[in-house]
């Protein structure tokens, strides 16, 4: 069954697409124009009642929340494509830990930067310089912890690439566009890690597939 991914041009859906490529799962993308409010139309709300992208349809099965979708496919196809969850229960624990760190420590300040610097201007909304400054500082502090971790292991959960690393790419990608790449580049281990994971063929394919210029 070919997996249908709705809203593939946006950042959170890119997490799902990269995961499907790593897991060698066949998929097709369905364009949903968030700027025209297509994600708030009744038809889409049947798939994702909060009106957010992505959602997937796999036969009769529907799922939303990008990280939940990735966990589902990484587990379902554990022995197909790249193993993204670790080989032992201890490795799995660390993958889960860093997935949570991504969602709760890393993502919020980065999301605030993206909203204020990239998205608000596109929507004609004002940006808040105070939020930008505070978020930048917060993200720097989070990245200090990453730098320490990545000075000891090649990837976040250990010496293997996992869902935890993958999950960072879609929003981290905005840093260069926002002229905030220094946050990465001034930390040598974080910098090497980002180069490594963004050079994976799966991420290059995600960018190739995206119609979205940002
Ligand atoms: N936690 C959700 C977040 C989804 C989300 O915020 N998606 C954005 C696109 S990257 C969206 O749908 N934005 C449109 C809106 O907020 O109306 C996930 O990971 O799937």
Strands (E), 65-193: none
- For residues 155 and 9, which has the higher predicted lDDT (pLDDT)? 155
The rounded Å distance from CA 30 to ligand 1 centre is 15
Check if the beta carbon of residue 67 is closer than 8 Å to that of residue 167.
yes
Indicate the pLDDT class of residue 213, thresholds 50, 70 and 90.
Answer: low
Taking 3-state DSSP, the helix, strand and coil percentages for the chain, each rounded to the nearest 5, stand at: 60, 5, 35
**pLDDT, tens digit (0-9, with 9 covering 90-100), for 84-143:** 999 999 999 999 999 999 999 999 999 999 999 999 999 899 999 999 999 999 999 999
Check if the beta carbon of residue 166 is closer than 8 Å to that of residue 84.
yes
The rounded Å distance from CA 110 to ligand 1 centre is 14
Check if the beta carbon of residue 96 is closer than 8 Å to that of residue 88.
no
Q: Read off the DSSP letter of residue 39.
A: G
State whether the beta carbon of 12 lies less than 6 angstroms from ligand 1: yes
The rounded Å distance from CA 53 to ligand 1 centre is 5
Q: What structural domains and CATH numbers belong to the chain?
A: 3-81 (3.40.30.10), 89-200 (1.20.1050.10)
List the one residue out of 167, 11, 205 whose CA is nearest residue 74: 167
């Amino acid at each position: 069954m070919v997996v249908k991914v709705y809203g593939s041009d946006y950042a959170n859906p890119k997490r799902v697409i990269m995961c499907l490529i790593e897991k060698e799962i066949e998929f097709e993308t369905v364009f949903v124009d968030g700027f025209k409010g297509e994600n708030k139309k009744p038809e889409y709300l049947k798939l994702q009642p909060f009106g957010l992208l992505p959602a997937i349809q796999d036969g009769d099965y529907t799922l939303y929340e990008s990280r939940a979708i990735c966990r589902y496919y990484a587990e379902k196809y554990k022995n197909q494509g790249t193993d993204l969850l670790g080989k032992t229960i201890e490795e799995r624990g660390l993958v889960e830990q860093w997935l949570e760190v991504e969602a709760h420590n890393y993502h919020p300040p980065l999301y605030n930067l993206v909203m204020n610097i990239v998205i608000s201007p596109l929507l004609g909304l004002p940006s808040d310089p105070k939020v930008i400054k505070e978020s930048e500082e917060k993200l720097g502090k989070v990245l200090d912890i990453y730098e320490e971790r990545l000075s000891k292991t090649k990837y976040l959960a250990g010496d293997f690439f996992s869902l935890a690393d993958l999950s960072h790419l879609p929003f981290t990608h905005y840093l260069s566009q926002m002229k905030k790449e220094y946050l990465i580049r001034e930390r040598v281990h974080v910098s090497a890690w980002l180069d490594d994971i963004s050079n994976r063929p799966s991420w290059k394919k995600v960018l190739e597939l995206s119609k979205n210029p940002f």
